[in-house]
Amino acid sequence: MAQIIDGKAIAADIRREVAAEVAALSSTHNAVPGLAVVIVGSRKDSQTYVNMKRKACAEVGIRSVDVDLPEDISEAALVAEVHRLNADPAVHGILVQLPLPKHINEEKILTEISIEKDVDGFHPLNIGKLAMKGREPLFVPCTPKGCMELLSRSGVTVKGKRAVVVGRSNIVGLPVSLLLLKADATVSIVHSRTPDPESIVREADIVIAAAGQAMMVSKGTGSSQALRLSMLGRTRSMTLPGSLGTGLLVMWILER
Ligand SMILES: Nc1nc2c(c(=O)[nH]1)N[C@@H](CN(C=O)c1ccc(C(=O)N[C@@H](CCC(=O)O)C(=O)O)cc1)CN2
């Protein structure tokens, strides 16, 4: 039977480590890290994620700077807000929750965030450095980074493995592929235009499914597919999504 990676336990360990770092910063430098979490509009899912981020800040001692903006804010006013946060010395990181309303150019906003405060790692310079050999971004997108932490803290060696990523989004699929490549995996990306994705997934040692769309590989995706592989005796370990998300971000490591 497959071993389920206990993501909640690993997250609790990481939060304890971050809390200790924050406490050390505060006692040695009398400095409290500040994170601005910006939300535009009132999408229910975005509000849930933003609330989780703000709560997580409070739990580890990071000062959360809450910026809630109306759905009809103009692009120019949002840029001005980002510039204000860039200039605020008490704000060390800025997260602008995505997606933004349709009338706002997401690329423009992400480019305006100072790269030193771009904790999401979505600024084109940070993503560009992530893609380049011998360069390191200042920050890496958090869900891909989380996948890599789950692998390393579960004792999985990535070097030399065949990794298949299902999905090519800017937020998860693309950056996790780049991180796996940097960690010396041989990486394939399966997406909506890939013919016969199942044959590619079959060859994998590590599969990260982040497609945002069901039935992409074969009947059933995400957790149901992981469970099927587990029953076939090929899954060594896997993560299963919790109750909050779409159930489409799943990772599994296969037996050869
Ligand atoms: N500024 C940002 N905006 C958005 C990001 C982001 O990283 N930065 N990512 C998503 C929304 N999001 C966090 O904000 C997010 C959504 C879903 C998940 C995820 O892992 N979901 C799992 C279930 C996890 C669980 O319920 O425990 C799943 O769907 O299977 C992570 C992050 C868009 N906007």
Question: Does 171 contact ligand 1 (Cβ within 6 A)?
Answer: yes
- 47 catalytic? Reply is no
pLDDT digits (tens, 9 = 90+) for 7-41: 899 999 999 999 999 999 999 999 999 999 999 99
Q: What is the pLDDT of residue 210?
A: 85
The radius of gyration of the chain from alpha carbons, rounded to an integer in Å, stands at 19
pLDDT digits (tens, 9 = 90+) for 116-127: 999 999 999 999
Determine contact, residues 251/231, Cβ cutoff 8 Å: no
Q: What is the pLDDT of residue 198?
A: 85
List the residue whose alpha carbon is closest to atom 13 of ligand 1. Answer: 49
Question: Does 152 contact ligand 1 (Cβ within 6 A)?
Answer: no
Mean pLDDT of 148-154: 93
- 120 catalytic? Reply is yes
Q: What is the pLDDT of residue 67?
A: 98
Q: DSSP per residue over 99-155, as a string?
A: SPPTTS-HHHHHHHS-GGG-TT--SHHHHHHHHSTT---S---HHHHHHHHHHHHTT
Task: Count other C-beta atoms under 10 Å from residue 102's C-beta.
Answer: 7
Q: What is the pLDDT of residue 236?
A: 65
Determine contact, residues 118/166, Cβ cutoff 8 Å: no
Mean pLDDT of 156-168: 93
The amino acid sitting at 252 is W
pLDDT digits (tens, 9 = 90+) for 190-227: 998 999 888 898 889 999 988 776 656 665 545 555 55
CA of 254 to the centre of ligand 1 (A): 24
Catalytic hit among 6, 53, 88, 145: 53
Q: Percent of the chain having pLDDT more than 70?
A: 84
Choose the most confident range, by mean pLDDT, from 84-88, 212-216, 227-231.
84-88
Average pLDDT, the chain: 89
Type and span of the H or E element at 201:
helix 197-202
Please check the confidence at residue 76 and state whether its pLDDT lies above 90: yes
Q: What is the pLDDT of residue 145?
A: 96
List the residue whose alpha carbon is closest to atom 15 of ligand 1. Answer: 49
**234 confidence band (pLDDT: 50, 70, 90):** low
List the residue whose alpha carbon is closest to atom 34 of ligand 1. Answer: 98
Q: What sign for the dihedral angle of Cα 46, 71, 88, 110?
A: positive
pTM: 0.89
Catalytic hit among 117, 118, 120, 225: 120
Residue positions counted in the chain: 256
Please check the confidence at residue 232 and state whether its pLDDT lies above 90: no
Question: Does 120 contact ligand 1 (Cβ within 6 A)?
Answer: yes
Q: What sign for the dihedral angle of Cα 162, 123, 242, 220?
A: negative
Q: What is the pLDDT of residue 244?
A: 37
Question: Does 142 contact ligand 1 (Cβ within 6 A)?
Answer: yes
Task: Count other C-beta atoms under 10 Å from residue 116's C-beta.
Answer: 13
Type and span of the H or E element at 177:
helix 173-182
Question: Does 194 contact ligand 1 (Cβ within 6 A)?
Answer: no
Instruction: Give the Cα separation of 226 and 239 in Å (integer).
Output: 9
Mean pLDDT of 135-155: 95
* Contacts (Cβ under 8 Å, ≥6 apart) of 202: none
Mean pLDDT of 225-250: 56
Mean pLDDT of 167-190: 96
Catalytic hit among 8, 13, 55, 97: 97
- 97 catalytic? Reply is yes
Task: Count other C-beta atoms under 10 Å from residue 117's C-beta.
Answer: 22
Q: What is the pLDDT of residue 123?
A: 97
Angle formed by the axes of helices 124-131 and 173-182, nearest 10°: 40
With CA atoms as reference, report the closest residue to 248 among 53, 54, 45, 31: 45
